[in-house]
Amino acid sequence: MKSLIPFILIGLSIGAYYTYMAPTFIEIQDLSTKKGEYVSAFEKIQNLAVKRDEMMTAYRAVPTPSMDRVKKIIPDTLQAVDLANDINTVASHSGLTIQGFKVAETQANIQEKVASKKLDSLYKTYHVSFNIKGQYSQFTRFLKELETNAYLSDVRSIGIQPAGTKDAPDSYTYTIEFTSYSLR
C-alpha cells in the first residue's frame, strides 16, 4: 500500500492539473491578452488627449479677427438673410438691383452616399440663385466685388438675357446660381 500512495498522488496531481490548472492558465492568458489590448487602447487615448490639447491650444492662439473671418467664410449655419443682405450691398455698390433671391439646402445624391458609405458630411451645401438687372459694365464690377466677398461659394451658372427698355437699351437680366457652404 505504501508503494501505491505516490502513484495515487501523482494521478491526483495530473487530474487536478487538467481539471483546474489548465483552464485557469488559458483564462490567465486570455486576460493577459485583453489587458495588453486595454493598455494599448489606453495609451492611444492618452496620445489623442495630448494631441487634442495641442490642437485646442493652437485653436485658442488664433487671433479673434482671423477667427471671425474664418467663421464668415464658412459659417456654422448659413444665414440666408445675411447672405442676401451682403450680396444686395455688393449689387447696390455696382448700381444693380436683385430680384428673386432663393436659398435651398442641397440634397446629396443618394448614389454618391451609397458608393462612398459616408452618410454624414462635414459641411452642408446650399443652392443660391437670384436675378440681377443692369448694364454689362455694372455686372462685371459686381462680379469682381462678389469674387472678393467673404462667403465661400462656387458659381454654378450665369445666364444673360436682354432686358432692354426704352430707358436703358443696353440693360440685361442676369441669372446667377452658386453653391454656398456651412458647417452645420
Predicted pLDDT at 110: 44
Predicted pLDDT at 40: 94
**pLDDT by residue for the chain (184 residues), tens digit each?**
678 888 888 888 888 888 888 888 888 999 999 999 999 999 999 999 999 999 999 888 888 888 887 777 777 777 888 888 888 888 888 888 888 888 888 765 444 544 554 545 677 888 889 999 888 888 889 888 888 776 777 888 889 988 766 666 678 889 999 888 887 6
User: What pTM did the predictor assign?
Assistant: 0.55
Q: For residues 78 and 126, is the Cβ–Cβ distance under 8 A? A: yes
The residues near 36 (Cβ < 8 Å, ≥ 6 apart) are none
For the four alpha carbons of 167, 168, 173 and 176, in that order, the dihedral sign comes to negative
Predicted pLDDT at 49: 94
Q: What are 172's three cell numbers?
A: 440685361
What residue type is 111 in one-letter code?
A: Q
**Element spanning 165, H or E:** none
